[in-house]
Homo-oligomer: A and B are copies of this chain.
Amino acid sequence: MTDFAATKAMFDLPNGTIYLDGNSLGPLPRAAAERVSGMMTHEWGQMLITGWNKAGWMGLPTGLGDRIGRLIGAEPGTIVTGDTLSIKVYQAVASALELCPDRKVVLSDNGNFPSDLYMVDGLLRSLGSEYELRVVAPEDVAENITKDVAVLMLTEVDYRSGRIHDMKALTEQAHANGTITVWDLAHSAGAIPVELSSCKADFAVGCSYKYLNGGPGAPAFIYVAPRHADRVRPALSGWLGHEAPFTFDLDYRPGQGIERMRVGTPPIIQMTALSAAMDIWDMANIKDVRAKSIELTELFISGVEATCPNLKLASPRDPAQRGSQVSFRFADGYAAIQALIARGVIGDFRAPDIMRFGFTPLYIDEQDVNGAVDILADIMTNRLWDAPEYKVRQRVT
């Protein structure tokens, strides 16, 4: 059994804060700052350029990939980290389209994270006007996997509601139809068990700054099924994906397997922080995390529904259909989230009216959930959100 008191002790959480936004940015692993400082001082500072070999920097993208892979049911050697999730979406969909040259449609849903849609829109514009991004409602995805669909691109866990797509069933249906799948695991990796290999997923992508706790702007990752890895030619063909980057050939030759999904020089400082975060994941079993996450979300829903009748559950009520977050609809949700933050309960707001709370068993426990419910009940019962200072939306620039 995972010792959640032990994992909680590995994080540096501010006093007086109940942090229910680890689904957006995970908190600081206690060891991360020292790890990074040591890497900077002893590796960058002392080894200088030789750190790429001596300190193993060049192997970090695949080394971290394997560590993430353990949480999402991927075979060793099938994941590489680097870039941002948007870039990895682009790589995955471009590669998937090359496997289906006779079809021109990418199917997704309107619960997908917008950046995934934007990136594919940009990709398809460059490929030509015969390509189409078809966006349907999440519940209509299955019936829209038609013979013209080259690629099914879905985010497994909806970023607003937490609704889980059935990866196994949809992948099977896609394959029966000759469609390639691209799964975005942004809200899955570290939140719920994922079985990429046994689901026969084709491509998957995700980020490491949410449930994995890699820090702001931590690198993304991409998975390519072994059966495709040596066939695809990456759209973003950078030198570190070349078969022999340091021969500096003028012609591109893709590297072996997943190595070809590397692009440019990897962000070693960010990867060092992520490495400290993954050490905590080595203490955890993802099935235990899922069981505990369901306990916490059930406790939160029942507590909120008992005390805050104005909040309407926006997440699936069945925990099997729900990721590790709970969302409620409230017309003044923005102000309510600001009022919560002022009281030390950090959740977030997603337009137009979603109050979103993430439950991350590595460092959130029942006491935190009960505390958050009490504060939210006080804010709602006494309309504490109805104050001018909570209504002015800060522009994020």
Contact = CB atoms under 8 A, between A and B. Distances in A.
Contact of A268 (B36, B49, B119, B217): B217
A17 B45 CA distance: 11
A192 interface: no
A144 B207 CA distance: 44
Nearest to A127: B126
Contact of A83 (B17, B37, B87, B215): B87
A302 to B, nearest CB: 26
A252 B135 CA distance: 14
A217 B269 CA distance: 7
A44 B216 contact: yes
A41 B53 contact: no
Contacts of A341: 50
Tally of this chain's copies:
2
Contacts of A222: none
A265 B118 contact: no
A234 B37 contact: no
A32 B40 contact: yes
Given A14-B48, A44-B215, A216-B51, A85 B264 contact: yes
A216 B57 contact: yes
B346 A126 contact: no
A381 to B, nearest CB: 25
A115 B238 contact: yes
Contact of A236 (B119, B220, B247, B270): B119
Contacts of A46: 14
A28 interface: yes
A271 interface: yes
Interface in A100-135: 110, 113-115, 117-119, 121-123, 125-128, 135
A221 to B, nearest CB: 13
B114 A239 contact: yes
A29 to B, nearest CB: 10
A237 B110 CA distance: 17
Query: Closest 8 CB pairs between A and B?
Result: A84-B264, A115-B239, A217-B267, A86-B238, A122-B237, A216-B268, A28-B45, A86-B264
13 contacts: A27-B44, A53-B396, A58-B396, A84-B263, A85-B265, A87-B236, A114-B250, A115-B240, A119-B237, A122-B233, A126-B235, A247-B351, A269-B273
